Structure 1
Amino acid sequence: MLGAIARKIFGSANDREVKALQATVEQVNALEPEIEKLSDDELRARTGWLRERLSKGETLQDIIPDAFATVREASRRVRGERHYDVQILGGLVLTSGKIAEMKTGEGKTLVSTLPVYLNAIEGKGVHVVTVNDYLARRDAEWMGQVYGFLGLSVGVIMHGMTDDQRRAAYACDVTYATNNELGFDYLRDNMKFRLEDMVQRPFNFAIVDEVDSILIDEARTPLIISGPAEDSSELYRAIDVLIPKLGDDDYEKDEKARAVTLTEDGTENAERLLGEMGILTEGTLYDVANVHLVHHVNQALRAHKLFQRDTDYIVKDDKVVIIDEFTGRMMEGRRYSDGLHQALEAKEKVKIQNENQTLASITFQNFFRLYPTLAGMTGTAMTEAEEFEEIYKLQVIEIPTHRPIARKDADDEIYRTAREKWVAIAELLDDCHKRGQPALVGTVSIEKSEILSDLLKERKVPHEVLNAKQHEREAFIVAQAGAPGAITIATNMAGRGTDIKLGGNVEMRADLELTNIEDEAKRAEGIERIKAEVKADQQKVLDAGGLFVIGTERHESRRVDNQLRGRSGRQGDPGGSKFFLSLEDDLMRIFGSERMDGMLQKLGLKEGEAIYHPWINKALEKAQQKVEARNFDIRKNVLKFDDVMNDQRKVIYEQRRDLMQAKHVAEDVADMRAEVVENLVIKYCPEKVYPEQWEAASLHEECTRLFGLDLPVTDWVKEEGIDVEVMRERIEKAVESKMAAKVANYGADIMRQVEKSLLLQLLDQNWKEHLLALDHLRQGIGLRAYGQRDPLNEFKREAFNLFEEMLVTLRERVTQMLSHVELQSAPRPEDLEPRRSQQEMHENHPEPEAMGGGSGDSATVQSRAASGNVDPNNPATWGRVARNAACPCGSGKKYKHCHGQLS
């Protein structure tokens, strides 16, 4: 109560922040009359003038009013859009490295031009981050007109571009890209072998559009670049046949945790079935030799029992394509990790792609922390303000709307069954269509979009369906969703980018209807006709009550519900919203629907009737808060573990860059040799131990293995007065003599190239193996909690030990390779510059639960590696077959027990 009184007197912290920025807004407005008088050339010249001021010692803060006033005028002339005062406010918030919460339709895309121009003047590059390729391309085209007018270059990063195209785009003053493309380019850059092959510049300033979607929703899982491991597709197919044979009592499913596990009976049943199929030939499923089968069975079980076609993924062009949980879009080129994607491919009977091994990974949290200044904008951030502050140190500022919101948000309608709910929605949509009121319906899956679509078809209500299957027509469908009586069913509306304008969209209609008209006069006449029609339609829609938004169930995050609601009532337009729920909805069913069902029956709810009750709304809000809290914990947990890897990643990436910048690495390699020698001597010739007790034979063997030298170590040990230091010096001298001879033989330049190339290759190889070891450590570390030990502390300790071991192994491998390397002829420079084929690498942004565990070691799975058509009767067509794989002849036996038997 006291807090409320204080806020009334002094205003909230947000109000005070906004009020403090008003003075700068007034400075920008005061410059407008003067700047309006400038010619186009004079306005354009202000960019050079502002750069000159910066070069003379002024800061970005000093030139804000002039820069903002320049952009406002350029936008008015080029785009016909003048920034409102609240948009100037939003630009100031972004400039200060904070998050601006601006309601849908307030023109966030235009707001971003202000801080982008200001920061781009320095020439260090500005990144504008969007949620999909379409928005990156569209925003670059729209806002690029303003930047181009003011003399700035604009680039856009799209999926499938070459390195040269990417390098050119990153070299621009302003670069538009998706979060995934930026992250993957960063990882790929740190796998390159030459500085000139890298595409990104050092990071400077980034603005993240739909910041809640990118930094929160997608931050539950890391970005992973992986390369192919051995083929095990036959095993996936074989085990996929087993899952439908299991009964309901053979597994337990926890939908809250998105987990499914075999019961004891289920394990026995699976062992029996695997035995009958000839896959499990000896022992139980959990014997050491069969652990890889547990992994395959678990992933197949998840694919069948937790993942639904047309909800979590779709099948297109003989491929399983992931559907983004938050935007409803297809995620082309993305794959679930840890064998889950292969299990889904086996389930859907499409071609199974090879499993992958991690080559590089990073979380979005750690990636976006690399930017010296980060800002963001969205319509819904306040509910997650605590997380933005804790994880990213970003403050959320709510910007007032240009006009008061006129939308009416109705209470939720709750039905007992989904069928009753769908019927009620269909009736309301029928009524909206007849009255000429446009309606937008948000669904959570393709399947549910199609249920509603079928109901509307029965009632002969015309409508459009927007989901991953209509990806190409997305912008047009959304733009026309405000036409009189238009009914649009959309799967998730987060980050759609295109505004719904009441009456329809003139530009979209012109593109569609006037495409084939080349005569300029006729085209202009057509545009005027469309404008008049849209204006008349707009009045019809306003009279009917504006856009009506219908939610078909509550999302697990209140923020996503607010994003859907925010589609209506933009820029002060009238509108309405209502959510229809049933006890069979996922959120209601998983979080205590039995209690709610009993409550509704006591309240006397009959079939077809809905209830509005504060108890129900309260219970629902608590359910959403539970899920939000759990997802926050998942993200924090991912970050805690990735922070451990991040410290190691920074060291390795910094080391790689230093190696690439260096002219040669002779000193580094010499230091490595010296350390290897010292470690060998310490290991086999301990101090304070008599020489006759040293392990001379082992030391001799290691010298032969690592250095290719047959040294008389056993004779040296017998010498009187020999000590550890003398032994070390003799071995080191012998090794250095051999390397000096190599340099003399092949030439210093050639050896310097060989050293650098080998060092980079072996560093990458060891880092890749280290990542695999960390993946396996991460999967099983949670079990340490049963021993009353903190899994995170255990992970930190063991990850550090693994890193130390990796460095020791690296030194040994580099020394061994260089000691044994023989060059038949002078190598060409390109032979010493390894290249990774882009086709060999895959980009993964895995499903969250796939990161948390899973049993077994997927790297131990082996199967047939041959490709092409296989004739069971012709062993010549089988290629190389792994010994534990099913025999290609079709006998059902393992290859080693059939055609692969050793005679």
Structure 2
Amino acid sequence: MASVRDIVRRFLDRPGSVDLSPYQRIVTEAAALEAEVREREELRAGEVGTAEFCAVVREAARRSLGERPFDVQLVGTLAMLDGHVAQMATGEGKTLAGALAAAGFALQGKQVHAVSVNDYLARRDAEWMRPLYETLGLTVGWISETSTPEERREAYRKDVTYAAVSELGFDVLRDRLVTDPADLIVPAPQVALVDEADSVLVDEARVPLVLAGAADPGTAVPEMAALVRRLSRGYHYKVDQEGRAVFLTTKGTDTVEKALGVDLYQDPGVVTGLNLALHAHALLTRDVDYIVRDGRVHLINQSRGRVALLQRWPDGLQAAVEAKEKLPASETGEILDSITIQGLLRRYPQICGMTGTALAVGEQLREFYDLRVAVVPPNKPCVRVDEPDRIFATAERKLEALLEEIGDQHATGRPILIGTLDVAESERLDEALRARGLSPVVLNAKNDAEEAAVIAGAGALGAITVSTQMAGRGTDIRLGGHASADGSESAVAELGGLYVIGTGRHDSSRLDDQLRGRAGRQGDPGGSVFFVSGEDELLAAYAPGEPMPDADADGLVRDKRGDLLVGHAQRVAEGVNLEIHRNTWRYTRLMEEQRGHVLELRDRVLHGDAATQALKDALPERYNELAEAVGDETVERACRQIVLFHLDRCWTEHLGFLSDLREGIHLRSLGRLNPLDEFNKEAVPAYRALLDEVEQRSKETFETVDVTGDLADQGLKRPTATWTYLVQDNPFGSDWDRVLQRVAGVLKRRRKK
């Protein structure tokens, strides 16, 4: 019966179905109190979520920031205070609405972590909103990558703390290795208010944050990279249809074996190194998947089009790319602990957030976080003109038409924002435009430090801005740009406002919407159009073998089947990514549960006498002997250090076991076994064995250790250095993920028929 109720609830409770009318009534009542509140010398918010609260925070914003929140901003604030994700269009003032919600939680005595997508936005928003918080009697702090432990501790003591999601995660991981309670940094989680909620909670949900130690050199060797450079695609190796796997042909195998002087498949180590080098060579493209800057490989965040700070690929792939680019291998090491962003944020008893494009992932927000989406209407109606896609049979014809359109629009003086899919495309387009005598400004992962200035000027008369990804840029594009005060704003408006051009459809419709949303802010005029070709990567990967209808004489595909094909490919891509997310969470959920139990045990050891009692009960004679010799306090301290060391060591080994287990578990499906069931069947007893191993090792150490000496010299040496990074999803997925992708594509095509 419960499952039937769930089905009915899911049917009735559609994404975006949060009823705004209660919030709107409260905001209307707040308007009646506005004059009275304005007369008050001291602002007291009253009960959070009421009309008086709304009137007071509105007046606080007016006094401190010179901004009077719109009614819709207060509606968004109330929705977040109720634990929802507020969908608010670009330019509608999400930053202020989020700050008002954070203040509301803080006024209830709850510590709020305002989760941002990067350090720049965390610092900017904290400093920008500081006068508002101080007017309401609240404190605010922020954390960046360069913050010291004491600076972090101080920031976490504030009522509201702004931080990038990665920094929050790294602090949590570091706290899990402390051996003295005084070294802890992060307080118990209470409220997470997430900016760009769809990006953080969905797009990056399965990204693991990693704490590593015990460095060793990279595993890839330059010789292997040099070898694969000599191989020819199609002759020595082939790439699968989705472009996510590469394999040697018979001729390629012979060539490699002769070059290396080995029987390739008798040496697993050589096979692994070769596969990594081949994947790096054939499937990862410079200026698309990564850039090389300052002698290092920097990954590109595909959902944001910018450098993915602190991110690296797993399993030797990072070192293979470095060898491909003839760079020294960066440090690698043993993973001491890790946590996915989804696991990190699910720690918070209360989660809410805001973004411009939550509705499209409403089902996932509910499935993974039990969050609902409140669609807040714009303050002024959107009058942007969104043109139908212009579809071409070939990429060459698309580029010609794109350049012509840019030239024609620029001739009128209308500002143009062109969104490309990757760095390489942005640079090719820049070169092509300059060859035609135009002077675009380019914003991509190579110059993202200049983004605020570039974006702020994108609305100026005659501006041509080429950018990869507009998600999470955090800066509005005002008509007229920097010089909007000189009357150029009206001139741009008369030309139709900012014109947004997409050079192709993304894997996610949300990314398209985020690009479009840069035009038409706050009721401004604007327009948008996407140029698509039958040779685009989206169609090649997710609608392979499905022909594009014939083009007309001018190269345009006007047959409605062209639009259907593009939409079909995008839906397949979104379905595949959702299923991979679900599959990842099915595996990581058990790991998160096991980690939770380990942390409970660790806390009892760190803050209490659990270690002492365990070893005293197990070895009473040894304990009494040591206590008489050196005193209870010294023995208790040693007990704590011994158990913490072995608990952390065994958890590290368990993580390695689970990683290896999952990597090969998909092979069980060949025997008609459920891989997830098989994973759980082995992971659960392995965890029980972990606890037994901690107990056994702790007893063995306690029997022989000199508790007055340095424990590190007696086999309890911890890593001398640790570092943190994010592991970007394997860009090719596991073998099981690739199976899911193929199956999803087949099912989607069958449904279409």
**CA positional deviation for 1:221:** 2.8
CA contact 2:243–2:283 (8 Å) conserved in 1: no
Change (3 A) 1:484 1:361: same
- 1:581 lines up with 2:532 in the alignment: yes
Q: CA deviation at 1:491?
A: 0.7
Matched, 1:383 2:385: no
Match of 1:415 in 2: 392
Q: 1:829 to 1:125 in 2, by over 3 A?
A: farther
2:747 aligned residue: none
Asked whether 1:322 is paired with 2:299, we answer yes
Query: When the two structures are aligned, how many residues end up with a matched partner?
Result: 725
Measured at CA, do residues 543 and 301 of structure 1 come closer, stay the same or move farther in structure 2, by a change above 3 Å? Answer: same
1:231 and 1:354 in contact (8 A); partners too: yes
Is the contact between residue 127 and residue 175 of structure 1 (CA under 8 Å) also seen in structure 2?
A: yes
2-side partners of 1:471 and 1:761: how far apart?
A: 42
Separation in structure 1 between the aligned mates of residue 18 and residue 602 of structure 2, nearest angstrom: 47
C-alpha distance in 1 between matches for 2:22 and 2:40: 30
For residue 146 of structure 2, give the secondary structure of its aligned residue in structure 1: coil
Picking from 340, 359, 369, the partner of 1:363 is 340
Equivalent residue for 1:146?
132
Name the counterpart of 1:447: 424
372-381 or 481-490: which moved more?
A: 372-381
CA pair 742-532 structure 1, distance change in 2 beyond 3 A: closer
Distance 1:840 1:202, change over 3 A: closer
Deviation for aligned residue 1:829: 12
CA distance in 2, matches of 1:619, 1:419: 19
**How many Å separate the matches in 2 of 1:596 and 1:483?**
41
Tell me if structure 2 keeps the 8 A contact 1:71–1:113: no
Aligned to 2:227: 242
Query: Shift of residue 144 of structure 1?
Result: 1.6
Which range is displaced more, 437-446 or 214-223? 214-223
User: For each residue in 1:653-699, what CA deviation from the matched residue of structure 2 results, as whole angstroms up to 9, or x when unmatched?
Assistant: 1111111111573212234x3xxxxxxxxxxxxxxxxxxxxxxxxxx
Alignment-derived partner of residue 819 in structure 1:
703
Residue type of the alignment partner of 2:399: W
1:614 is matched by which residue type in structure 2?
K
- How many Å separate the matches in 1 of 2:15 and 2:117? 30
SS at match of 2:347: coil
- 1:70 maps to which of 53, 56, 62: 56
2:404 is matched with 427
Q: How does 1:174-323 map to 2 (within 5 A)?
A: 174-233=160-219, 235-247=220-232, 248-254=234-240, 256=242, 258-275=244-261, 280=262, 284-287=263-266, 290-323=267-300
Task: State the shift of 1:609 in Å.
Answer: 2.3
Instruction: Supply the distance in 2 between the matched residues of 1:817 and 1:482 (Cα, whole angstroms).
Output: 68
- Is 1:614 aligned with 2:560? yes
Q: Aligned in 2, Cα 1:743/1:16: closer, same or farther, shift over 3 Å? A: closer
1:338 and 1:363, CA in 2 relative to 1: closer, same or farther beyond 3 A?
same
Kindly state the Cα deviation for residue 851 of structure 1 after the two structures are TM-superposed.
6.1
* Kept in 2: contact 1:220–1:848 (CA 8 A): no
Is the 2:18–2:375 Cα contact (8 Å) retained in structure 1?
Answer: no
Provide the residue aligned with 1:623 in structure 2. 569
User: Which consecutive unaligned segments of at least 5 residues does structure 1 have?
Assistant: 1-9, 51-58, 506-529, 674-734, 856-903
**Structure whose alpha-carbon radius of gyration is higher:** 1
CA contact (8 A) 2:503 2:531 kept: yes
Give the alignment of 1:310-709 within 5 angstroms: 310-505=287-482, 532-533=485-486, 536-592=487-543, 595-597=546-548, 599-600=549-550, 603=551, 605-606=552-553, 609-663=555-609, 665-671=611-617, 673=618
Which residue in 2 is equivalent to 1:877?
none
SS in 1 for 2:323: helix
Please give the alpha-carbon distance, in whole angstroms, between the structure 1 residues aligned to 2:218 and 2:209.
24
| CA deviation string 1:366-388 (max 9, x = no partner) | 22111111112111111111111
Residue in 1 that maps onto 2:144: 158
Contact 2:79 2:86 in 1 (8 A): yes
State whether residues 218 and 330 of structure 2, in contact with CA within 8 Å, keep that contact through their aligned partners in structure 1: no
Change (3 A) 1:160 1:835: farther
What amino acid maps onto 2:533 in structure 1? S
Alpha-carbon distance in structure 1 between the residues aligned to 2:628 and 2:22:
71
1:836 shift after superposition = 5.3
8 A contact 1:337–1:846 mirrored in 2: yes
Alignment of 1:823-838 (within 5 A): none
Shift in Å at residue 744 of structure 1? 2.5
Kept in 2, the 8 Å contact 1:98–1:375? The answer is: yes
SS at match of 1:462: coil
Pick which of 560-569 and 256-265 moved more. 256-265
Structure 1 residues 830, 68: CA separation in 2 closer, same or farther (over 3 Å shift)? Answer: farther
Call closer, same or farther: CA 1:835–1:168 in 2, change over 3 Å.
farther
1:864 corresponds in structure 2 to none
Paired residue secondary structure (2:480): coil
Partner of 2:33: 31
Indicate the residue corresponding to 2:726 in structure 1.
844
Counterpart-to-counterpart distance in 1, 2:379 and 2:730: 38
- What are structure 2's unaligned runs of at least 5 residues? 1-11, 738-753
Secondary structure at 1:321 match in 2: strand
The alignment partner of 1:295 has SS state of helix
Percent identity between matched residues is: 39
| Residue number in structure 2 paired with 1:802 | 686
Q: In the TM superposition, what whole-angstrom CA distance separates every residue of 1:328-350 from its partner, at most 9, and x where no partner exists?
A: 11123221111110000000011
- Secondary structure of the corresponding residue to residue 457 of structure 2: helix
Q: Partners in 1 of 2:726 and 2:204 — Cα distance?
A: 12
Classify 1:531/1:238 alpha carbon distance in 2 versus 1 (closer, same or farther; 3 Å). closer
Change (3 A) 1:850 1:832: same
| Secondary structure at 2:205 match in 1 | helix
User: How far apart, in 1, do the equivalents of 2:176 and 2:156 lie?
Assistant: 16
**TM norm structure 2:** 0.92
Counterpart pick for 1:97 among 67, 83, 99: 83
Distance 1:801 1:249, change over 3 A: farther
Q: What is the root-mean-square deviation of aligned Cα atoms in Å?
A: 2.5
Amino acid aligned to 1:254: D
Residues in 1 aligned to 2:507 and 2:392: alpha-carbon distance in whole angstroms: 18
Asked if structure 2 preserves the Cα contact closer than 8 Å seen for 1:442 and 1:564, the reply is yes
1:526 is aligned to none
Specify the alignment match of 2:751 in structure 1. Answer: none
Whole-angstrom distance in 2 between the partners of 1:265 and 1:380 = 49
Q: Is the 8 A contact 2:27 2:54 kept in 1?
A: no
From the superposition, tell whether residues 13 and 265 of structure 1 become closer, same or farther in structure 2 (CA, over 3 Å). closer
Q: SS state of the match for residue 81, structure 1?
A: coil
Q: CA 1:340 to 1:376, structure 2 compared with 1: closer, same or farther past 3 Å? A: same
SS at match of 2:177: coil
Q: What one-letter code is carried by the residue in structure 2 that aligns with 1:286?
A: Y
- Counterpart in 1 of 2:3? none
Amino acid at match of 1:29: A
How far apart in 1 are the matches of 2:610 and 2:633? Answer: 9
Could you say if the C-alpha distance between residues 12 and 644 of structure 1 is closer, same or farther in structure 2, counting changes exceeding 3 Å? closer
- Structure 2: how far apart are the matches of 1:169 and 1:325? 31
User: Matches of 1:593 and 1:773 in 2, distance apart?
Assistant: 37
Residue 413 of structure 1: how far off its partner (Å): 1.1
